[in-house]
Homo-oligomer: A and B are copies of this chain.
């Protein structure tokens, strides 16, 4: 049997902070057709990041945000805030908005239904605190929901099966879920953000690279033509492609339909 299509959409950080942009993405997401040209059902999942709300709330509460080598440390108080903002405020507001758009969304974090098992990050030098590295995705729960035409909306948190929630990178969650569901579905993974795609010139939105393979990525990286923030995103995206995800695309959130058709953004290709 031919695998049915599944769209996994990652909504990037800055989007979450911009009410209008987020609304536009959710409109487009809700409107995605339920069937493709061949009449197959099309399933979808939305994965969202955190944005700046958590940082702002921490500031308001006077909770110091500790950075070690440029990375934020998730201490117990920060974890509490992240749980409130990511799994509570952002997740549930996205769900309520999608429900109003007749998309039957369900909000989940990685602890719900044992969705994403992880472990606290082990690092020889830095204690990242309550940060999780993903071990395993419970694909059965996602399949049950998807086949009931329920649309999962996933917050960037996991758990360690010992009672601890863990703050986890949303791009990594998108990649891991996409890889895990590739056995069952023909997965298109789309990382949306505020840029047109991978740009050759950061300041020129017209310089978007239509397609890129990992060799080209490595060359551009060596030539320092790809900005720092894009590197982990692209590494995540290439991992997804190499581990069996059919199509991986990076591009501008408001062009969601075009991105899925390969008519906008950057498509990752095999070397």
Contacts and interface: CB of A to CB of B under 8 A. Distances in A.
A96 B159 contact: yes
A163 B80 CA distance: 26
Nearest to A26: B163
Number of copies: 2
At the interface, is chain A mostly helix, strand, loop or mixed?
helix
A92 B89 CA distance: 12
Interface string A51-90: 0000000001100000000000000000010011111110
B83 A111 contact: no
Given A61-B61, A88-B88, A163 B97 contact: yes
A113 B163 contact: no
Interface of A: 60-61, 80, 83-89, 91-93, 95-97, 99-100, 104-109, 111-114, 141, 144, 148, 150, 157, 159, 161-165
Would you list the 9 A-B pairs with minimal beta carbon distance, nearest first?
Answer: A88-B88, A84-B84, A100-B163, A84-B88, A106-B113, A96-B111, A106-B112, A95-B111, A96-B159
